[in-house]
Amino acid sequence: MFTPEQVARVCENLEETGDIERLGRFLWSLPAAVPGTAAEALNRQESVMRARALVAFHGGNFEGLYQILQSHRFTRESHAKLQDLWLDAHYRQAERLRGRPLGPVEKYRIRKKFPLPRTIWDGEQKTHCFKERTRSLLREWYLQDPYPNPSRKRHLAQATGLTPTQ
């Protein structure tokens, strides 16, 4: 029997290698998470929950994916990947209903109809690919110095989390 930490590491390794089928078989072999048991501790491991979400997505179990993503709070490091799963699942469901690929406007409407849950999103809106905090900081710096030198650009990049080119 594995400890919850060992199970989490196995899930992380299988996720990194992209072997979803093997990851699914591994998760299936784990004991059921009954409240009050050691198996319940697995559901508190983020990498296990992320792996369950990934297996649900690749298996076409979108309702299971949504339930996992809405019921477990994930760390910021996992947000980007899980946000992609959330949106791709909604896009695939809509494509299946319509019987054709979605266009940009339809994808926009789906994003508005099914906003990201707070468990995988920090709540900060993006405008033109930048978060509002980043945009306001860039605007502030631009008003101070519209043509910064390379060292100021690097300093600004560190402050915003962007690359100097951005």
* Separation CA 10–CA 25 (nearest Å): 12
Give me the count of residues in the chain: 166
Listed residues 107, 123, 139: the one ending a domain:
123
Coil, helix or strand at residue 131: strand
pTM of the model as a whole: 0.72
CA-based R_g, the chain, Å:
20
Q: How confident is the model at residue 140 (pLDDT cuts 50, 70, 90)?
A: confident
Whole-angstrom distance, CA of residue 49 vs CA of residue 43:
6
Decide which of 91 and 132 is more confident. Answer: 91
Residues 47 and 101 in one domain: yes
Same domain, 117 and 156: no
Kindly state the tokens that stand for 147: 């043509």
Mean pLDDT of the chain: 86
Range of the domain at 157: 125-166
Please answer whether residues 159 and 137 qualify as being in contact, where contact means their C-beta atoms are separated by less than 8 angstroms.
yes
